[in-house]
Amino acid sequence: MSDNPTNEDRPAVEDVTELREVVADTDGAPLLEIREVTKMFGSVISLSEISTTVRAGQVTCVLGDNGAGKSTFIKILSGVYQPDHGELLVDGKPVTFSTPREALDAGIATVFQDLAMVPLMAIWRNFFLGSEPQKGWGPFKRFDEQTAKRITRKEMSDMGIDIRDTDQPVGTLSGGERQSVAIARAVHFGARLLILDEPTSALGVKQAGVVLKYIVQARDRGLGVIFITHNPHHAYPVGDRFLLLKRGKSLGDFAKSEITLPELTGLMAGGAELEQLAHELERGGGEEDGYTKGIAQQLLEDTKTLK
C-alpha cells in the first residue's frame, strides 16, 4: 500500500476518534495487568519482577535491546511460558494461561514476526487459514468463498486498508501490508488485546510508518495493544505507556506524561554507560594504534636482517 494522503480524510476516522475518547475515559480495571512477573530458566533469571498495565484503547510499548527479555515477556503473555512468580490479571481477575489457545480464548492475540501466512496464497485464503467458514451439508460442505472474501475486505477496510483484490497472493504485498493482514486477522478472530512482536523492525521508514498507523487504528477501535520494539522513535508517537526492559529487569514503567522522547532514548541506550563506552573506545583505539605501529616497525627490521 502506497501511503496515499487521501486515506487520512476517510469519514470513518471521525467516528473512531469519538470511540477512543469514550474508551480512554473509563477508569475501570485494565484489560491486562502484569504484576511482578518473574521467569527463570534454571539458574538464569530471564525476567525479574516486571509490572505494567494495558488498557483498552491504549498502547503499551515494551522497549528493550537484544537479550532484554522481550521474547520471554511475549511468550508469557501469549501462554507459551508460565511465570514462576507474579500474576496476570485480565479485567481485574487473575488468570493462568497454560497454552496459547487459552490466551487466545481470553482475547489475547499475538502477531509473531513470521506472521504465519503463506505467500503463494490469496489474501482471503490466508485470512481464514485454519478457521475456514463452511457452508453446505455433510460431504457437500464447502469453503464459503463469498463470506470469506466479504469479511476479509470488510475487516481490512475497518483497519483503514482498502485492498484492491482479495485474490492477490500475500507474497505480492509489501511488508507493511502483510503486517496489516495479520493484525486484521487477529482482530477478526476476537482479539481484545494485540501483542505485536517487533512489527516495524524489518521494514523501511515508509512501511514502518504505515504499520504505526495500523497500530493507532487498532487502538482507536478500542483494542489494547502491546507493541514490542527496540526503536523509541517508533514507540513514542503511538505509545501511552512505556515499559523499559534491560537484561530481564524493568528500568521503569512510565505513562507518556512522565517521560519525553530524549529521556526514553537515553534510558534505552543506557545513557551514562554509553558515554563511558565511547571514552573507552577512544582510549583503547589510540593504544591499539601505537601497538600496530610497533608491530609494523618490527616487521620491517626483520625483513632487513633476512636480506
Partner 1 sequence: MTATTVAPVDERIAHVGVLRRLLVKPEFGALIGAIVVFVFFAFQSNVFRSMNGAANWLDTASTVGIMAVPVAMLMIGGHFDLSAGVQTGTAGLATGIMTTYWGLNVYASLVVSLLLMLFIGFINGYLVTRTGLPSFIITLGMFLGLQGINLGVTKQVTNTVQVSNLDLVPGYKALKDVLGSTISIGGAKFQIAILWWVLFTVLGSYALLKTRFGNWIFATGGDANASKNVGVPTARTTILLFMLTSTAAWFVGNTQIVRFGTIQAQVGIGQELIFIVAAVIGGCLLTGGYGSAVGATVGALIFGMTQQGIVYAGWNSDWFKLFVGAMLLLAVLANQFVRRFAEQSRR
The three grid cell numbers given for residue 30, joined into one nine-digit string: 485494565
CB 145 within 8 A of CB 127: no
Q: How many CB atoms lie within 10 A of CB 107?
A: 19
Distance between start and end Cα atoms, the chain: 69
| 120 lines the binding site for partner 1 (CB under 8 A) | yes
Q: Which three-class secondary structure state does DSSP give residue 115?
A: coil
Return the residue of 6, 66, 98, 305 that touches partner 1, per CB under 8 A.
6
User: Based on CB atoms, which residue is closest to partner 1, 116 or 261?
Assistant: 116
| 196 lines the binding site for partner 1 (CB under 8 A) | no
User: Based on CB atoms, which residue is closest to partner 1, 174 or 265?
Assistant: 174
| 195 lines the binding site for partner 1 (CB under 8 A) | no
- Cβ of residue 273: shortest distance to partner 1, in angstroms? 38
DSSP calls for 172-209:
GS-HHHHHHHHHHHHHHTT-SEEEEESTTTTS-HHHHH
- Segment lying near partner 1 (by CB under 8 A), choices 1-9, 73-81, 252-260, 297-305: 1-9
Q: Which three-class secondary structure state does DSSP give residue 82?
A: coil
Interaction residues for partner 1, span 88-117 (CB under 8 A): 112, 114-117
| 145 lines the binding site for partner 1 (CB under 8 A) | yes
54 beta partners: 32
Interaction residues for partner 1, span 166-185 (CB under 8 A): 168-169, 171-172, 177
Which residues fall within 8 angstroms of residue 305, CB to CB, at 6 or more apart? none
Query: What number of chain residues touch partner 1 (CB under 8 A)?
Result: 40
Distance between CA atoms of residues 167 and 72, nearest Å: 36
User: Based on CB atoms, which residue is closest to partner 1, 75 or 153?
Assistant: 153
| 307 lines the binding site for partner 1 (CB under 8 A) | no
| 75 lines the binding site for partner 1 (CB under 8 A) | no
- Segment lying near partner 1 (by CB under 8 A), choices 47-55, 118-126, 190-198, 264-272: 118-126
Taking CA atoms, 187 is separated from 36, 157, 281, in Å, by 28, 12, 48
Distance between CA atoms of residues 217 and 161, nearest Å: 10
Return the residue of 63, 161, 223, 226 that touches partner 1, per CB under 8 A.
161
Return the residue of 51, 82, 131, 292 that touches partner 1, per CB under 8 A.
131
Which parts of the chain are beta strand (E)? 32-41, 44-54, 59-64, 85-90, 93-95, 108-111, 134-135, 142-143, 193-197, 224-229, 241-246, 249-255
User: Based on CB atoms, which residue is closest to partner 1, 171 or 286?
Assistant: 171
* Interaction mask 11-30, partner 1, x per CB under 8 A: x-------------------
Interface with partner 1 (CB under 8 A): 1-2, 4, 6-7, 10-11, 112, 114-121, 125, 128-132, 134, 141-143, 145, 153, 157, 160-165, 168-169, 171-172, 177
